[in-house]
Amino acid sequence: MKKIMLSGGGTGGHIYPALSIAKAFRNRISDAKIGYIGTKNGLEARIVPKENDIQFFDVEIQGFQRKLSLDNLQTVAKFLRAVRHCKRYIQQFQPDVVVGTGGYVSGPTLYAAARLGVPTLILEPDVLPGLTTRFLSRYVDVVAISLSGSEKYLTKANKIIHTGNPRGTEVTHADGKKGRESLEISDKEKPLVLIFGGSRGAKPINEAVISMIPRIQKAEHLHFVYVTGEVHYQEVIANIKDGSELPNLTIKPFIYNMPDVLAGTSLVVGRAGASTLAELTALGVPSILIPSPYVTNNHQEANARWLEEQGAGMMIKEKELTGERLWDTIREIIEHPERHQQMSEAARSLGCPDASEVIIDELERLSQNHG
């Protein structure tokens, strides 16, 4: 096995696991060749071409409306056209295996590969499988699930394996000391509480944090890192009148070295996307999850509830979020060392730091069996 074709798009939660698999494949196969099928206007079209030695192919695709709509007729037409393009790309690149990591673009890619008889695997990063995974599960050779519990939704799958999320592999070598130093946190022993709402931020989380400022000011035994998102940064700064009076609060619009910062964190407050869960469980970081209610099929709530049921996190629904409730929940975890330790151990027990290697092993078996 020397050639692999990847496909995933729309969000970083689909793209970064694919790149983690690419990295593991390249590390194992010295003369590896890697192709990637994505949409021409998606996030993957900006991220993937920056990677060395990955050949990028683009198609046009859109998702189905979840209600009856004439737009779905156009979606079907685009899907069939994308399948034809993907078949041409696959025949041109001649991969030994094709891997999808989610997003609408994985649909025509893996369907085309299956029809051409090329071994296929799709990774499902969330507890609640997306429409693309459910559709493809009957066609692909293997469905790799990241979180236990997904299998009950995939009754028509040919084979299911639990691999974990390859994104977790990327953070296992993170350096917490470097993360804290990058934020200029002088006290090495002070517990760090990291609060963020995704790359663009989340206004309800921002509002809750702003209302907690008087409490944060008095909590000198803790250090808070508050990531507002680029869109909200200036507004947040304007609402916090005198940041100089808050030496235990660091405010950033965005953090580029998130793995290192996470590795030095005692407690995370944030959304419940698949990549976030992979990072938290790989590092064993307890969390307070506020799932976004605006995502497809409300899958973040399913993710958050799963982590809470495992004893590794606590969930607050966005509609129930207040500064007071968030503060009380932070204290419930951070000021009770035994509870914090139990949650940390539970989180780490769920992590799959070798997910990428497990997936490569399965791909090699698929390739050999096909050969």
3-state helix, strand, coil in the chain (%, to 5): 50, 15, 35
Token output for 69: 């709509």
265 marked as part of a ligand binding site = no
CA distances in angstroms from 157 to 139, 152, 167, listed in the order given: 8, 10, 23
Amino acid 291 reads P
CA atoms within 13 A on the CB side of 274: 32
User: Which residues are paired to 329 by β-bridges?
Assistant: none
Q: What is the Cα–Cα distance from 237 to 211, expressed in whole angstroms?
A: 13
Q: What is the Cα–Cα distance from 21 to 8, expressed in whole angstroms?
A: 12
Q: What is the Cα–Cα distance from 352 to 371, expressed in whole angstroms?
A: 29
Q: What is the Cα–Cα distance from 113 to 31, expressed in whole angstroms?
A: 23
11 marked as part of a ligand binding site = yes
User: For residue 152, what are the contacts with CB-CB under 8 A and spacing of at least 6?
Assistant: none
13 marked as part of a ligand binding site = yes
> Which H or E run includes 292?
none
User: For residue 333, what are the contacts with CB-CB under 8 A and spacing of at least 6?
Assistant: 267, 286, 288, 314, 339, 340, 343
Only one residue has tokens 């399965």, namely 362
User: For residue 284, what are the contacts with CB-CB under 8 A and spacing of at least 6?
Assistant: 344, 345, 347, 348, 351
Amino acid 266 reads S
Annotated binding site for UDP-N-acetyl-alpha-D-glucosamine: 11-13, 199, 255, 300
Annotated binding site: 11-13, 199, 255, 300
